[in-house]
Amino acid sequence: MNSVPAVAADEFERLPNRYRIMRLSYLGLTAFVTLAIGVWVACNPVKSEEGIPTIVWIAGGVACAFLIIWGVEEILGFQKRGFLLRELDITYRSGFWKHQETTVPFSRIQHSEIVQGPLARIFGICTLKLFTAGSSGANLRIPGMDKLEAERMRKYIDERTAIR
């Protein structure tokens, strides 16, 4: 059995900064809407004589905690995101809170697709999905890739899987 070479952390290709801007835009929009709802609740005359109900304070605290955790993941976790294309496999890593590294050998890949939603089109990025035998969904998703890089990588992977 062949041994798989170790993956070095410095070999990973980073995702484009446009993807970071898009993700931070989602975070900013969510924070803005959450803040607007909080201000509306605080200023709305539906509060009782005792003030704002405790459940509203708890919901606001949970929302703030969620936004902080999400913000730390986006800001500090983005540096961890990246992919590594080697001769026999592809690896994607991500996560600040939960580190994840997935490697898929080309011999297991059945097909691939490139997905690009409307906002991703504006930012010029896409998601490369790789499907392996016996799975119901994509076994590896690499979001935030440059469109041309994803097409080049897909062609490379298709050539490698056709050799089998």
pLDDT at 112 over 60: yes
Q: What is the pLDDT of residue 1?
A: 46
pTM to 2 decimal places: 0.77
Whether residue 141 contacts residue 147, with contact meaning beta carbons closer than 8 Å, is answered with no
Asked whether the predicted pLDDT for residue 155 surpasses 80, the reply is: yes
pLDDT score of 15:
92
- CATH code: domain 81-163 is 2.30.29.30
For the stretch 120-154, pLDDT in tens is 999 999 999 998 877 666 689 999 999 999 999 99
Write the CB contacts of 138 (distance below 8 Å, at least 6 apart in sequence): 113, 129, 130, 131
Q: What is the mean pLDDT of the chain?
A: 85
* Cα atoms found within 13 Å of the Cα of residue 156, Cβ hemisphere only: 14
